[in-house]
Amino acid sequence: MPIISTAGLARTFQTKRGPVEAVRGIDLTVRPGEIVGFLGPNGAGKTTTLRMLTTLLPPTGGAATVAGHDLATDPAGVRRVSGYVAQSGGVDPQITVREELITQGRLYRLTKSQAVERAEELARDLDLTELLDRKCAALSGGQRRRLDIAMALTHRPMVLFLDEPTTGLDPASRADLWKLVRRLRDEHGTTIFLTTHYLDEADALADRIVVVDQGLVVADGTPSALKLKYGGSIDATLQDTFLAITGRGPSPADTTPVAV
């Protein structure tokens, strides 16, 4: 049974110039334990799709389930099994890492002692123990990103959605995040669904790559299969393959309109 399933998932925004079809009908399935790279040019609908799958934005068409929970009829169930790390993150710079993690646990209705225990467990798992009493404002980019992910893992989600998780990080911090993503899948069975504009990142991490363009899925397969089919050789670069599929390069941001 797929852990993520969508059929005709769509989102139209109403603007002063008329309707904009940001996502025109996404059909996909994701198996448990997969790492899926969700790629596309600027404005392809990547972030809009993630926002729908995490219940932050209601679809205007189609249907989807996450771990058996229907997006439209059981959004609370979707949130219980999902973790989401947005592009911008969401930590409070004025409090410590420990306080941030405990607060997150309390928001998930853990008791105070449970929240403290979970904070320390997450800190051990994500190499944050020595930073627990440091203000979030003093964290490096890589440390802050690990904290973002720790917060998303507070409730032990089955699916982790990552939107551009390594944007702005130095190469060493990116490599650390790659190791963390693999470890979450290998040791905890977490399904990872991520967007990225770094094609080397998608090539290194993803079991499967789904390419969207103009709000539709235009290619879906393993990196090797896509390279062979669209790049002409298994030794083709993912950059060349992506260009062959879309005719355009990847972009660091999805600029589809947001609801007002």
pLDDT in tens, 222-236: 999 999 999 999 999
CA distance 117 to 123: 10
pTM of the model: 0.90
Asked if residue 100 is part of any domain, the answer here is: no
| Model pLDDT, residue 88 | 79
Asked if residue 26 is part of any domain, the answer here is: yes
Average pLDDT, the chain: 91
Write the DSSP assignment of 55-101 as a string of letters.
TSS--SEEEEEETTEETTT-HHHHHHHEEEE-SS----TTSBHHHHH
Strand partners, 63: 7
Nearest CA to 126 among 141, 145, 105?
A: 145
Q: Could you tell me how far CA 155 lies from the centroid of its own chain?
A: 16
Asked if residue 133 is part of any domain, the answer here is: no
| Model pLDDT, residue 258 | 35
Asked if residue 99 is part of any domain, the answer here is: no
| Model pLDDT, residue 1 | 86
| Model pLDDT, residue 249 | 57
C-beta separation of 45 from 217 below 8 A: no
Asked if residue 169 is part of any domain, the answer here is: yes
pLDDT bracket for residue 260 (50, 70, 90): very low
Asked if residue 119 is part of any domain, the answer here is: no
pLDDT bracket for residue 172 (50, 70, 90): confident
Digit-coded pLDDT (tens) for 72-129: 999 999 999 999 999 877 789 999 999 999 999 999 999 999 999 999 999 998 899 9
Digit-coded pLDDT (tens) for 237-253: 999 999 999 986 555 44
Residue numbers of the domain that contains 234: 4-91+139-246
CA distance 242 to 249: 7
- The share of the chain scoring above pLDDT 90, in percent, equals 82
pLDDT bracket for residue 182 (50, 70, 90): very high
CATH code for position 157: 3.40.50.300
Digit-coded pLDDT (tens) for 50-65: 999 999 999 999 999 9
CA distance 140 to 64: 37
| Model pLDDT, residue 170 | 87
pLDDT bracket for residue 254 (50, 70, 90): very low
Asked if residue 87 is part of any domain, the answer here is: yes
CA distance 248 to 240: 10
Asked if residue 115 is part of any domain, the answer here is: no
| Model pLDDT, residue 25 | 96
Average of per-residue pLDDT across 159-187: 90
Number of domains the chain is built from: 1
C-beta separation of 149 from 165 below 8 A: yes
